[in-house]
Amino acid sequence: MAPLAERIRPKSLSEFFGQSHIIGKGKVLTKIIESGNIPNMVFFGPPGTGKTTLANIIAERSGKRFYKLNATNASIKDIKDVIEDTKTLMGSKGILLYLDEIQNFDKRRQQSLLEFIENGTITLIASTADNPYFCIYKAILSRSLVFEFKPLKKEEVISGIQRAVKLLKEQTAGLVCDDDAILHISDLSGGDLRRAINTLEAAYSTCQDNHITKEWAAECLKVGVLNYDRNGDSHYDALSYFQKCIRGSDPDASILALAILVKGGDLLSICRRLLVIASEDIGLAAPQGITIVKSCVDAALQLGFPEAGIPLAHAVLYLATAPKSNSAVSAIYSALGDLDTKDIGELPAHLRDGHYAGAKHLGRMQDYKYPHDYPNNYVEQQYLPDNFKGNTYYKAGKNKMEQAAYEYWQKIKGR
């Protein structure tokens, strides 16, 4: 017997769960499907969100011959076999090829599809859990519409589970599935309906007295539900979320973001990002921050997980509640930008190295004024090259530390 998830797979748009941002009355993908004019498409999003189901529905409505390949184990020969069918009556209306996990196709295999996509022999629907803009050949992307599939909402997962329970009750008289069991499975599904249905099926096949309780559902759900791939798009999304929460001075969201990363187990990425944040987002507003964070990071690296989470939390809460300044990152990026667009010319001769024979003859370090020989260890002289004279890169942040330094130097420099 086919798995339960396969048996309840929707056969029409009216039965389809989720993706209400693209599927439904008046939505773009629904209109495309109803028109019958199916373009090449890329579906991307996490597992269990309906990508394969929707491809099946589209194939049924299109009247095209439907082929499904998984890029994990498909070869160029498999593609050629599909293409051969376009030359027969079997492929007279054209072929719709559903290529699952296209990120596993290298550029050469993706390119082998291009000619047939361009001439319309093959209509391609590719799916991936990775960001397509990173993993799909640009020529294919430019010829395709890209649709993002999002994790299902809780109520959508519940509806899917209830439909599966109804089917199970039809085949097993007296089956009882408690409402709190359904709620528990939906809560821990991570928006993945297939995972929820597989959990329900496991609970059904192993429960006592045909009674699925919350407690037994929980026994069947003792694995993590976090959608986190250390080598995938979600990894960088989580790191971005982490930094933006700290930058936004929200300690609660920052700790939650840290917890997501800790669950992912990538200690090195957490440590590197914290060190960046200490200078990029806190910087001179709390200049001791980099030292505190470095100490916490060193402790975390020595401890390893699970204890590493404690000094990491110390660093995160310090940074999230610290005053903020981006003056350091703004200054360096501004200077780097100028170097990309302007000729720096010669460095000022009086600031160049003069500690060698002949330096005086070349005019090196002549007329250099040693600041420590002057009051307040400061004397005015030209530091920027002639081509950059008058440029300003550092702008003091609106915080106590930088404003105090700014006022001090304004006074010393007599401005």
Q: What is the DSSP string of 308-324?
A: THHHHHHHHHHHHHS--
Q: Which long-range contacts (CB under 8 A, 24 or more apart) does 6-12 make?
A: 7/167, 8/160, 8/163, 8/164, 8/167, 8/197, 9/53, 9/56, 10/53, 10/57, 11/56, 11/57, 11/60, 12/57
What are the start and end residues of each CATH 3.40.50.300 domain in the chain? 19-148
Q: How confident is the model at residue 3 (pLDDT cuts 50, 70, 90)?
A: confident
Q: What is the pLDDT of residues 114-138, one digit of tens each?
A: 888 888 888 999 999 888 888 888 9
- CATH number for the domain formed by residue range(s) 233-321: 1.20.272.10
SS3 26: coil
Rounded CA-CA distance 244/95 in Å is 45
Q: What is the pLDDT of residues 147-161, one digit of tens each?
A: 999 989 999 999 999
Rounded CA-CA distance 215/219 in Å is 6
Quote the tokens at residue 256: 């939650």
Phi and psi (nearest 5°) for 93? -90, 5
**pLDDT value, residue 229:** 57
What are the start and end residues of each CATH 1.10.8.60 domain in the chain? 154-219
Rounded CA-CA distance 12/30 in Å is 11
Residue linked to tokens 């024979």: 357
Q: How many CA atoms lie within 13 A of 131 on its CB side?
A: 10
**pLDDT value, residue 279:** 96
* Amino acid code (one letter) for 90: M
Q: What is the pLDDT of residues 272-331, one digit of tens each?
A: 999 999 999 999 999 999 999 999 999 999 999 989 999 999 999 999 999 999 999 999
pLDDT > 90: percent of the chain: 50
Instruction: Choose between 188 and 254: higher pLDDT.
Output: 254
Four-residue CA torsion sign, 104, 107, 111, 112: negative
Cα first-last separation, the chain = 85
**pLDDT value, residue 79:** 81
Quote the tokens at residue 93: 């209306």
Residue 106 reports pLDDT greater than 80: yes
Q: What is the pLDDT of residues 207-250, one digit of tens each?
A: 888 999 999 988 887 654 455 555 556 778 889 999 999 999 99
Mean pLDDT for the chain overall: 88
**pLDDT value, residue 124:** 92
**pLDDT value, residue 224:** 47
What b/e string do you get for 164-181 counting C-beta neighbours within 10 Å, with b at 16 or more? bbeebeeeeeebebeeeb
Its CATH class, for the domain covering 331-412, is mainly alpha
- Give the DSSP letter of residue 379: -
Residue 177 reports pLDDT greater than 70: yes
**pLDDT value, residue 149:** 93
Q: Regarding the domain delimited by 154-219, which CATH topology (the fold level of the hierarchy) does it fall under?
A: Helicase, Ruva Protein; domain 3 (1.10.8)
Q: What is the pLDDT of residues 19-58, one digit of tens each?
A: 999 998 889 999 998 888 899 999 998 888 999 999 989 9
Phi and psi (nearest 5°) for 69? -125, 145
Its CATH class, for the domain covering 19-148, is alpha beta
**Its pTM surpasses 0.95:** no
Residue linked to tokens 């939650």: 256
What are the start and end residues of each CATH 1.20.272.10 domain in the chain? 233-321
**pLDDT value, residue 230:** 55
What are the start and end residues of each CATH 1.10.3710.10 domain in the chain? 331-412
Phi and psi (nearest 5°) for 176? -125, 130
What are the residue ranges of helices labelled H in 86-127?
107-118
